[in-house]
Amino acid sequence: MTETPAHIALWPAPHASGAVDATVTVPGSKSVTNRGLVLAALAAEPGWLRRPLRSRDTLLMAEALRALGVGIEETVPSSSSVTGASVTGAPDHTGEVWRVIPSGLHGPAQVDVGNAGTVMRFLPPVAALADGPVRFDGDPRAYERPLHGVIDALRVLGARIDDDGRGALPMTVHGVGALDGGTVEIDASSSSQFVSALLLSAPRFNQGVEVRHVGGPLPSMPHIRMTVDMLRVAGAQVDTPESGGEPNVWRVTAGAVLGRDLVVEPDLSNAQPFLAAALITGGRVTIPDWPRRTTQPGDALREIFTEMGGSCELTDQGLTFTGTGRIHGIDVDLSEVGELTPGIAAVAALADSESVLRGVAHLRLHETDRLAALTKEINELGGDVTETADGLHIRPRPLHGGVFHTYDDHRMATAGAIIGLAVEGVQIENVATTAKTLPDFPDMWTGMLDGTGTGTGTGAGA
């Protein structure tokens, strides 16, 4: 059994005493915020991000860009509170604005990526455009996450990178102020971020870029579509398989990136535990400002959780999800929405029938090996989960309390909280890891459940 370090506090996951009925305002999307920061930093004129996510991952991105010479001015409103049955992540992101002022990218610079995949993968191409060396380092787990797709591709496109042959962190990108660009083949089957990383900086490459994916199935396609949509909004010309191009080929033409005024959507994947609460307790949760059209993978929750026993209504006010208290198992391919797997697995462990989650072998390379972690932690609470070649087979069993380890993975922490709604005595190790993408999750969670009291916080991340 995994040892819990004495210095890491255990958080007693609240047990639901009845049906929840709450409105939960979810902070902005990490994926949109960090893509927006990169594009704004590469633009020919200042831009704005409104309602950005303020979390560890996004602050790491902002600090890295500042280290490269980009100006980022933050206007942060005062913290808000949790009152009645309305729950808001602190601080109130309604009025927050980040103004991004591009400048000549330069080194020498030091970049701390933490354990943020978007930072460690999106910024090396930006660093290749800088004038001077840029050193990348991060958390110990970041050394284990694949980066070879970006490193190898940048070398083909004309960059010089010192990584001692690891294909991983730590490394130094020796920028010379420009990058030739051109055509490159990569295997992005371990992370779609390899494709997005090259596309985001491609308008600034001398020849643009043509990215050809030559590996196995490409995971998380919605995130690539998000990258393409945001590039087009910023004025870039992008040819994709969906627009009549070749399968698994993306082309970005060299040209100016325009500064934009971008409103960041709520993070729909971070809405998952709150929607799960409605499903499990037979209650109702409303997420304001849920977009009618989006490239976020979290939008798939509407269909998935409905199939598992709930119902949803999308109005101009947002998404209202209602549960019946009955949870059904599901057989589902999550290859495009892998980040939802931990929360779905937690709900499936409480269902009335078996579930099969498929298409997510790449999760073994995320913040932790999520398939192994979910199997171990649910089974240690009395569950019956088996790893398959590309996913999980979950047979519901009566669960009991115990320590739910998180492995410094924010989605493991929220998965444990979901189980704790229905199982008394669950204790979450290091719930503070949720600050990676969802600041003040514990206060939001307890506020949703009791509908009383107040909770405040800086939301500044870990």
How far is the C-alpha of 286 from the C-alpha of 312, rounded, in Å? 9
Number of neighbours of residue 450 by Cβ within 10 angstroms: 14
Neighbouring-strand partners of residue 331: 356
Cα dihedral 164, 167, 168, 174, rounded to 10, equals 60
The H or E element spanning position 433 is none
Determine whether 246 is an active site residue.
no
Secondary structure of residue 212 in the 3-state scheme: strand
Residue 68 burial (C-beta neighbours within 10 Å; 0-12, 13-18, 19+): buried
How far is the C-alpha of 168 from the C-alpha of 59, rounded, in Å? 22
How far is the C-alpha of 93 from the C-alpha of 398, rounded, in Å? 40
Q: Exposed e or buried b for every residue in 255-269, given b needs 16+ CB within 10 A?
A: eebbbbebebbbbbb
Structural contact between residues 98 and 59, judged by C-beta atoms closer than 8 angstroms: no
How far is the C-alpha of 98 from the C-alpha of 206, rounded, in Å? 29
Catalytic residue among 96, 265, 339, 429: 339
CA 52 to chain centre: 13
How far is the C-alpha of 440 from the C-alpha of 65, rounded, in Å? 25
Secondary structure of residue 46 in the 3-state scheme: coil
How far is the C-alpha of 374 from the C-alpha of 158, rounded, in Å? 41
Number of neighbours of residue 446 by Cβ within 10 angstroms: 16
Contacting residues for 140 by C-beta, under 8 A, at least 6 apart: none
CA distances from 10 to 236, 272, 405, 410 (A): 47, 22, 9, 15
How far is the C-alpha of 109 from the C-alpha of 132, rounded, in Å? 8
The catalytic residue positions are 339
